[in-house]
Amino acid sequence: MAKFVIEGGHPLSGSLSVNTAKNSAVAILCASLMIKGKTVLYDVPRIEEVYRILEILTSIGVKIAWLAEHTLSLDTSAKLQMDKIDKKATEITRSSLMLLGALAAREKEFKIYKSGGCRLGERTVKPHLFALEQFGVSVESKNKYYDVKNKPLKAVDIVMYESGDTPTENAIMAAVLAPGVTTIKFASSNYMVQDLCYFLQSAGAKIEGVGGTTLRITGVSKLSDVKKYNIIPDPIEAMTFIALAITTKSEMTIKNCPMDFLELEMEKLRVMGQKFQIKDRRKSANGKFDIVDIKFAVSELQALPDKIYGSPFPGLNIDNLPLFVPILTQAKGRTLVHDWVYENRAIYFLDFQKLGANLTLLDPHRVFVEGPTKLRGSELMCPPAIRPAVALLVAMVAATGKSVMRNSYTIERGYEDLAGRLAKVGVKITYEE
């Protein structure tokens, strides 16, 4: 059982650079199956979630090669062997659900094992199915797997049952190879959805309205090879490092931040009294997104005057909401955190009490956080959800004394070499297997 061991309570300094996005990477890797050819991806994060998707792709016949540390080549031209799909890897990662849309035009019939991922209560697959069935995809739920049967795809006008990221991505992938014109309304416009659209456009897809909630997609008969595509920097990793700088009261610079997807988060912090400078505004490596460096100064924080909650983009990112909890432990006053999306993610916030936080759980969705409080080290099991887990790790770095986070695989799903990178800014942390 791997673990992080931290000697916390020390000021940090220097800079951290944001890696590319887990959620974009796994979607684009699944979408490579639509090309029936070669794809070269740059800036691919070396994280466990990506490794699980690569295990799945390899098991069904995709040829994969690392050309450099973060450059990946995929050849998806061979006939797929869906009967040999890696059962364990599929069950571990919920991202495998995106095979439903990616294979909608390619495979007439296959089985896919039911998946896990973060334990966040009842996460229904119905929004995926409500959309895909309109294109001609039939998914029958069995005890441990889904039985998938695909009819010839047809263009449709659909309204997403909910503005979910992966259901929208599945609908986009089905629409791209469906003859005719598809309109998708109430689509998610989050960073990974936009990144997927731009990747598919680079392969010849005809998608209009990227960045909005209504997409118009004209189906094409096939997609072309992608010789180079750079994945977007991760706004959730950016917010993780931002929370680290603020909670530890450190002067730090967070580099390579995708500002398009952090603007509301930064406004909340500004209202709380956090001082920062935005520097070196530029375009991302794929030319589609605004990137900045953000320099943080030590600041006295006040609690927000109202509650804080996540929403579909352009609202405050749902995955960034837990990362405000360690920040709020250092702000004067009381803040209501409303995590309405998941049935029980807010329950994981109770672990902050073991570090000395003044936190009250009101119900499975809402907590009061009151500050400022002096955090102290403790030994904890890693919560089985990435963002509450890494938010807790941030608090451990700020807490005085020794902390141990056991069973750290959850964090490794989404963060590459986190201990090594944090050590470079002064975090006294070791990773032990």
Same-domain status, 250 and 210? no
230, 246, 280 - which closes a domain: 230
Q: What pLDDT, on the 0 to 100 scale, is given for residue 118?
A: 44
**What is the full DSSP assignment across 263-303?**
HHHHHHHHHHT--EEEEEEEE-TTSSSEEEEEEE----EE-
- The helix-helix angle for 235-247 and 386-398 (nearest 10°) equals 20
The verdict on 177 and 79 lying in the same domain is: yes
The closest alpha carbon to 8, from 408, 296, 430, belongs to: 430
With vertex at residue 338, the alpha carbon angle to CA 335 and CA 340, rounded to the nearest 5 degrees, is 180
**Number of folded domains that form the chain:** 2
Per-residue pLDDT of the chain (433 residues; tens, 9 = 90+): 899 999 999 999 999 999 999 999 999 999 999 999 999 999 999 999 999 999 999 999 999 999 999 999 999 999 999 999 999 999 888 889 999 999 999 999 999 988 754 443 445 688 889 999 999 999 988 888 889 999 999 999 999 999 999 999 999 999 999 999 999 999 999 999 999 999 999 999 999 999 999 999 999 999 999 999 999 999 999 999 999 999 999 999 999 999 999 999 999 999 999 999 999 999 999 999 999 999 999 999 999 989 999 999 999 999 999 999 999 999 999 999 999 888 778 899 999 999 999 999 999 899 999 999 999 999 999 988 899 999 999 999 999 999 999 999 999 999 999 999 999 999 999 999 8
Specify whether 137 is located in the same domain as 271: no
Of 230, 249, 269, the domain-final residue: 230
Q: Residues 15, 28: one domain?
A: no
**Range 57-62, long-range pairs (CB < 8 A, 24+ positions):** 57/29, 57/32, 57/33, 58/86, 59/84, 59/85, 59/86, 59/89, 60/84, 60/85, 62/32, 62/33
Residues 288 and 210 in one domain: no
Sheet strands side by side (includes 379-381) = 379-381, 401-406, 3-8, 428-432
Do 202 and 343 share a structural domain?
no
- Model-level pTM? 0.95
Owning domain of residue 30: 22-230
Query: Which amino acid, 243?
Result: A
Say how many CA atoms lie within 13 Å of 366 toward its Cβ.
9
Question: Are 253 and 177 contained in the same domain?
Answer: no
Rounded to whole angstroms, the Cα distance separating 312 from 165 reads 9
pLDDT at site 116 = 59
DSSP letter string, 64-80:
EEEEETTEEEEE--SPP
188 and 265 part of one domain: no
b/e burial code for range 319-354 (CB count within 10 A of at least 16 → b): bbbbbbbbbbbbbeeebbbbbebbeebbbbbebbeb
Residue 252 and residue 294: Cα distance in Å, rounded?
Answer: 8
In whole angstroms, what is the distance from residue 370 CA to residue 335 CA?
Answer: 6
CATH at 53: 3.65.10.10
User: What order do you get walking across the sheet with 181-185 strand by strand?
Assistant: 157-159, 181-185, 214-218, 206-208
- Predicted pLDDT of residue 298: 97
317 and 337 belong to one structural domain: yes
Residue 430, beta-bridge partner list: 5
Give bridge partners of residue 148 from the DSSP assignment: 110, 139
Pairing, β 13-17 against β 251-258: parallel
Domain check: are 392 and 363 in the same one? yes
Q: How far apart are the first and last CA of the chain?
A: 6
